[in-house]
Structure 1
Amino acid sequence: MYTRILARHLESTRRSALVLGPRQVGKSTLLSSTGPDLSLNLADPQTFRDYATHPERLQRELEAAAPTVTTVFLDEVQRVPALLDAVQVYLDARPGRFRFLLSGSSARKLRRGQANLLPGRVHVHHLHPLLAAELGQDFDLDRALAHGTLPGIYSEPDPLTRAADLRSYTDTYLREEVQAEALVRNIGGFARLLDLMAASSGRILNVQAMCRDAGLGYETTRRYIEVLEDTLVMFRVPAWSGLRGSSRASLVRHAKLFFFDLGVRNALLRRPLDMPLSDERGVLLEQLIACELHRRLGTIWPEAALFHYRTRHGAEVDFVLEVGREVWGIEVKASRRVSRRMLGGLSSLASRCDRVARRIIVFLGERPQRLDGAEVLPLEDFLRQLPT
């Protein structure tokens, strides 16, 4: 089992925690490893029926718990949101009696069920597929680009089995469970939209074009995209708008959407997962960096915010990272060589914003370089500089 960075944060405090993340990222494994005294797996059909029918049962069991029972783990809590009311009772009336560890794979189900999200009482964390830092010496770029880094899939030694597992994940989870959560009536339209979203991962979101290509209305398309975000299957990278006055009008304001895992994206697009994806290497490398940055926001890197930069005149930077008052511009190149023509977007950003502290090109070369004041960093060097 790979050691998760989030484990260290959970071990550093006795505060109750809600860990959100897509299916199969390791939430249950992580929280079970903390050694809870009482565990309820609400994904189990019998357990779900018992507590969905009588949610007050949890409160009775907590009242009867022995003094040695101090940590309570509720797995897939979004399936029975009413249990969160019992959690609040103990957090308010008997603070310190129990530490609650909660996991969930759908913020949408919690909101839709008008769940008590325990504001101010529980720390909310997100768990994602594995970071390169968590893989350590096992990190293999080609494997990550083709098969992603879902723990159970990445650790499978046989490439053909990894590919089969990914296709099973997309069919049984994305096409069925997410589809059911969306209350989908137009199954064909949702399936087409899902494929279009996978093909557009990493590009600026154009909802009107999605409507046309998927054969769906605007509101339906917008709702389906919202479902994919709420179920943590996709994440949004907003357009950067850190300029003042009229200069802001020159910036493109549409966000980019990214799939949470490259292997899932590739499986949806029916890529030949047992073969190198050389024709998409640049696109995939950019999305790998997007995932590495996004997965650190919040718990690991709370002072950072992630954006992209693009002007109406065509200048663009793959990622703009705001770290406190500093701004970092980051360009990603699937090349072993760099040239000055790669600096255009970074120069545009730096000329418009006096807070740009770092201009970075991430590339596939072996040694760091300096190019007209920009840092040219091999992928491994760049990843090592990110916080853990």
Structure 2
Amino acid sequence: MAIRTKYAYDRKGHGNVITISLCMIVKNEERTLARCLDSVVGITDEVVIVDTGSSDRTMDIAAQYTDRIYTYEWADDFAAARNYSFDQATQEYILWLDADDVLLPAERAKLEKLKQQLPSEGETAAVVLNYTLAEGPEGSPLVTDRRLRLVKRDAGCRWHGRLHEQLSFPASGVITADIAVTHRREAGHHSARNVRILRKWIAEEGVAQGRLLFYYAGECYDRQRYAAAARGYAKMLEQPSGYREDRLIACARLAECYERLGQPGRKLGALLQSFQYDLPHADFCCAIAACFHERQELVSAIYWYMQAVDVSSRDTGLRPVPAACRTWLPHARLSLCYAHLGNWEQALMHNTKAREYLPSDPGLLDNRQKLEAILRKEIRNREEQDKAQSRK
């Protein structure tokens, strides 16, 4: 889903400070709810909690933060539950979070600043925030996405889809902000619930197509049923229309399915198919390069890794993308490719660029030492050859 308008949020606000309702739907979230609410307490002016059938201490924990607690009879429809939570909001803007989301201190400060700078009754109808789906050992983002998180209550933004629900965009006034919500999922798997919802949904629709087919293929993928997932994604990509991000995700997932099924040729084809839907992105370029790298076709691998470097700043839209593909990974792989070709200077240069992102990585540091030792030896050899040549 494309962002229609995009600009920075560092302008001076005018008028009154905006007010925010936090809206959440929860069920059996006693392990994570307090952590989530603590991370935004003091920023939101209202907390709306909609419980869809908890049997643990979720409601008791919620009561420590708000008296705006509602029960909702679950009907296998996430969009309906989220729309109900939005209907209870009374403030100017609505922020939505899941119970296993958290706003880290630095990001909390950014959100506080944004709240001060967005003018009440201003033109901004919605704000897209970053979404960290996986973290490295030091909290650095490994996989990032973006979501429409903050919407004006009267902008008409509604949720759609019983599963993997999507929030509709307003016609205009959408901005992006460099603020990240971090997803810290606790142990637990919802595959059985999701499959039940999908089966009911497909039965009522009579056929799986469009986003419904996309979701079905995703559940097969998550359950490691790669042949079924591949069929679903391939069929979805044959359809004449669809969201750009869904198609790109389908290409990436289809490629991984083919890899799992031992079909490397079809994997490369699925990755190249992504160019039908958008310009090249760093993650696809890295994956294509890896196909050639595995075949020891190093010149082709170098070409695609360089493409990944060149497009690393391109807007990837609203889909999950590994941060490594846009930072250190293509440089680290380029270093290996050039080393295999005996181009030690280029190998060391790209090792240095990779270490700008991962300065303490043991593998990169070890490779640097090896490359520097080879280059020193080559320099000595050249000097000795020059001396020998001058004595003739």
The TM-score normalised by the length of structure 1 is 0.33
TM-score by length of 2: 0.33
Larger radius of gyration: 2
Q: Flag the structure with higher helix content.
A: 2
